[in-house]
Structure 1
Amino acid sequence: MFTILPIKGMIDQIDGFYCDGISAGLKANNALDLGFIYSDTLCDVEAVFTENRFQAAPLKHYLMYKKDFQTNFVLINSKNANAMTGKKGIEDINSIFSSLNHEFTNPIMSSTGVIGNPLPIQKIVEGAKSFDLKTKNAQNLSKAIMTTDSYAKTTMYEVKLEDGSSFKIGAVSKGAGMINPNLATMLCFICTDANVPKEDMKEALKVNSETTFNAISVDGDTSTNDTVLLLTNKKSNAYNKEAFFEVLRLVMHDMAMLMVADGEGAKKAVAFEVKNAATYEDAQKAAKALSNSLLVKTALFGEDPNFGRIASTIGASKIACDEEKLVVSYNNVIVYNKGELIFNDEIEQEAFKVLQNDKFKIVCDIGLGKESFTAYGCDLGYKYVEINADYRT
Structure 2
Amino acid sequence: MPHKYLTWPTGFRAYAGHGGLREHGDDISVIASDRPAVSAAMFTKSLFAGPAVALSRAHAAGRRLRAVTTLAQNANVATGREGERNAAEVVGRVAGILGIPADEVLIGSTGVIGRPLPMDTIRAHFDAAAERGLAAYDAGPLDVARAMMTTDTRPKTAERAVGPARLVAVAKGVGMLEPDMATMLAYVVTDAALSPAELDGALRTAVDRTFHCLSVDTDTSTSDTVAVIANGAAGPVDPAEFAAALADLCLDLTLQLARDGEGATKLLRVTVERAVDPAQAKRVAKSVLNSPLVKTAVHGADPNWGRVLMAIGKNTDETTIAPDKVSVRFGAVEVYPDEPGPDTLAELTAAMRKDEVDIVIGLGLGQAAATVYGCDLSAGYIRVNADYTT
- Common fold, TM-score beyond 0.5? yes
User: Which residue of the partner structure matches residue 194 of structure 1?
Assistant: 192
| SS state at 1:32 partner | coil
Which residue of 351, 354, 359 corresponds with 2:351? Answer: 354
CA contact (8 A) 1:11 1:172 kept: no
User: Which residue of the partner structure matches residue 27 of structure 2?
Assistant: 33
Q: Which moved more, 1:133-142 or 1:272-281?
A: 133-142
CA contact (8 A) 2:46 2:221 kept: yes
User: Which residue of the partner structure matches residue 21 of structure 1?
Assistant: 16
Write the deviation string for residues 6-59 of structure 1: whole angstroms up to 9, x where unpaired: 99667743111111211112111x211111111111221211111212111101
> CA shift at 1:350, angstroms?
2.3
Are residues 228 and 280 of structure 1, via their aligned partners in 2, closer, same or farther at CA, if it must alter by over 3 Å? same
Separation in 2, partners of 1:10, 1:209: 27
> CA shift at 1:321, angstroms?
1.6
| SS state at 1:168 partner | strand
Q: Which moved more, 1:347-356 or 1:110-119?
A: 347-356
| SS state at 1:150 partner | coil
Write the deviation string for residues 234-284 of structure 1: whole angstroms up to 9, x where unpaired: 111122111110000011111110000001110110210100112222111
| SS state at 1:236 partner | strand
User: Which residue of the partner structure matches residue 301 of structure 2?
Assistant: 303
| SS state at 2:37 partner | strand
| SS state at 2:197 partner | helix
User: Which residue of the partner structure matches residue 154 of structure 2?
Assistant: 151
Write the deviation string for residues 177-211 of structure 1: whole angstroms up to 9, x where unpaired: 11113235400010001111100111111111111
AA matched with 1:44: V
User: Which residue of the partner structure matches residue 321 of structure 2?
Assistant: 321
Q: Which moved more, 1:72-81 or 1:6-15?
A: 6-15
AA matched with 2:312: I
CA contact (8 A) 1:48 1:183 kept: no
> CA shift at 1:73, angstroms?
2.6
Q: Which moved more, 1:178-187 or 1:206-215?
A: 178-187
Alignment of 1:168-179 (within 5 A): 168-179=166-177
CA contact (8 A) 1:278 1:369 kept: yes
Are residues 181 and 69 of structure 1, via their aligned partners in 2, closer, same or farther at CA, if it must alter by over 3 Å? closer
User: Which residue of the partner structure matches residue 287 of structure 1?
Assistant: 285
Q: Which moved more, 1:380-389 or 1:272-281?
A: 272-281
AA matched with 2:357: F
User: Which residue of the partner structure matches residue 364 of structure 1?
Assistant: 361
> CA shift at 1:328, angstroms?
0.7
User: Which residue of the partner structure matches residue 237 of structure 2?
Assistant: 239
Percent of matched pairs sharing the same residue? 32
| SS state at 1:71 partner | coil
Separation in 2, partners of 1:316, 1:362: 17
Unaligned runs of 5+ in 1: 1-5, 161-165
| SS state at 1:313 partner | helix
Are residues 144 and 116 of structure 1, via their aligned partners in 2, closer, same or farther at CA, if it must alter by over 3 Å? same
RMSD: 1.9
Alignment of 1:1-393 (within 5 A): 12-28=7-23, 30-65=24-59, 67-99=61-93, 102=97, 103-105=99-101, 106=103, 107-131=105-129, 132-134=133-135, 135-137=137-139, 138-160=141-163, 166-318=164-316, 319=318, 320-337=320-337, 340=338, 342-393=339-390
Number of residue pairs the alignment of both structures matches? 379
CA contact (8 A) 1:216 1:291 kept: no
Separation in 2, partners of 1:192, 1:128: 26
TM-score (norm: length of structure 1): 0.91
Unaligned runs of 5+ in 2: none
| SS state at 1:217 partner | coil
Separation in 2, partners of 1:237, 1:195: 5
| SS state at 1:380 partner | coil
AA matched with 1:351: L
| SS state at 2:220 partner | coil
Are residues 198 and 363 of structure 1, via their aligned partners in 2, closer, same or farther at CA, if it must alter by over 3 Å? same
CA contact (8 A) 1:184 1:228 kept: no
Separation in 2, partners of 1:146, 1:13: 19
Separation in 1, partners of 2:68, 2:121: 17
Separation in 1, partners of 2:224, 2:128: 27
Separation in 2, partners of 1:140, 1:127: 17
Write the deviation string for residues 313-347 of structure 1: whole angstroms up to 9, x where unpaired: 1111232222211111111111112xx4x244444
CA contact (8 A) 1:74 1:108 kept: yes
AA matched with 1:142: A
CA contact (8 A) 2:6 2:142 kept: no
| SS state at 1:367 partner | coil
Separation in 1, partners of 2:113, 2:3: 35
